[in-house]
Amino acid sequence: MDLKGKNRPKSFEVAATRTCNYLISIAGNKLLGDYSRSDALKFREWLIDRGLTGSSVTQNFSYLKAVFNLAVSEYALDITNSFVGVYHDREAGVIRRQPIPMEDIKRV
């Protein structure tokens, strides 16, 4: 995490660590190569069942993929990242906020 989060805010490390802990609680503490597509799908369903929006599910998978890819790159591992290409509805639960009308802004 020190390498990946070097020029990022502390919140990156906190969120990435939290996401990894979520995965471990769902699929167990395994070697990277032992995580399967089934584990990735269980993780996706767990996130959705917790009520996360599509964008939050995307963010959690992004953290996992980043951590996984860094380990693969750093240690020249010959394993497949089971978390790549897992489909989910990115728009699920996302509320598009409308801009404040200019008339309201002028009144303030």
Give the residue extent of every domain in the chain: 10-107
Q: What is the CATH number of domain 10-107?
A: 1.10.150
Q: Which one has a higher pLDDT value, 90 or 96? A: 96
Which amino acid belongs to residue 20? C
Rounded to the nearest 10 degrees, how much is the dihedral formed by the CA atoms of 46, 66, 18, 88?
-20
19: pLDDT strictly greater than 90: yes
Confidence bin at 1 (pLDDT 50/70/90): low
Contact residues for 33 (Cβ-Cβ < 8 A; gap 6+): 77, 79
Whole-structure pTM value? 0.74
CA quadruple 42, 14, 58, 87: dihedral positive or negative? negative
Give residue 11's pLDDT: 82
Confidence bin at 100 (pLDDT 50/70/90): confident
In the chain, the percentage of residues whose pLDDT exceeds 90 is: 48
